Amino acid sequence: MLGCEVFQNGVASLLRHVREQGLANVRIAETDSFRVLGSLPETSIGRAFLLFPDPWPKARHHRRRFVRGEVLDLLARALADGAEFRFATDHADYCAWVLARLLAHPAFAWAAEHPADWRVRPADWPPTRYEERALAAGRSPVFLTFQRRPRRSGAT
C-alpha cells in the first residue's frame, strides 16, 4: 500500500495509524501523488483512492484540482487493466468536474449501474473524518468508482 501526503501533520497521523495497527505493507511518500504516479511502473496499481480531496472551489484555483487531464493520463498509465479508481467528495461542483473529466477520458469507464452505487459508501472503502464532517454538516457524500479500460496495442 502506498500513501501520498503533502502535509506534515497528515504524515504524522498516518504513521501513528500504521504503528497502532501494526501494518508492515505501507509506504508513505511525502509529496503530491501525481509526482509519484509518474515514477511508478506501467500497470503497477490495482486500485487507487482519492477520498475527499480539497475541492479548490474558487475558479482561479481549479488548476490545483487533482482530477485533471495530465494527472488522469499518469493514473491511467499506472493502473492495471480492470483496476479501479475510487473517488469520494461531498462537494457537488467537484463531483460534476470529476464526472465530466473521467467520462471524457478514454481509459476510464464509470462502474455505476444504480444510484446506490454512488450514494452509499461500499463496505470495503475506508471511512474518513472528512466524510464524518460532511455527514455531520448535512452534506451527502458521493462515492464514484471508475474502471481502467483494457489497453489496446498503441492505445491509452
> Which alpha helices (H) appear in 49-128, and where do they start and end?
69-78, 92-104, 116-119
Q: What span, in angstroms and rounded, lies between the C-alpha atoms of 98 and 101?
A: 5
Please report the beta strands in the chain, taking only residues with DSSP state E, as ranges in sequence order.
2-4, 27-29, 45-51, 79-89, 108-110, 142-148
DSSP helix/strand/coil, 133: helix
User: 82 near 74, Cβ under 8 Å?
Assistant: no
Which residue out of 54, 93, 117, 124 is catalytically annotated? 54
54 is catalytic: yes
Strand order in the sheet with 142-148: 45-51, 79-89, 142-148, 108-110
What is the C-alpha separation between 90 and 134, in angstroms, rounded? 6
Angle between helices 69-78 and 92-104 (to 10 degrees): 60
Catalytic machinery residues? 54
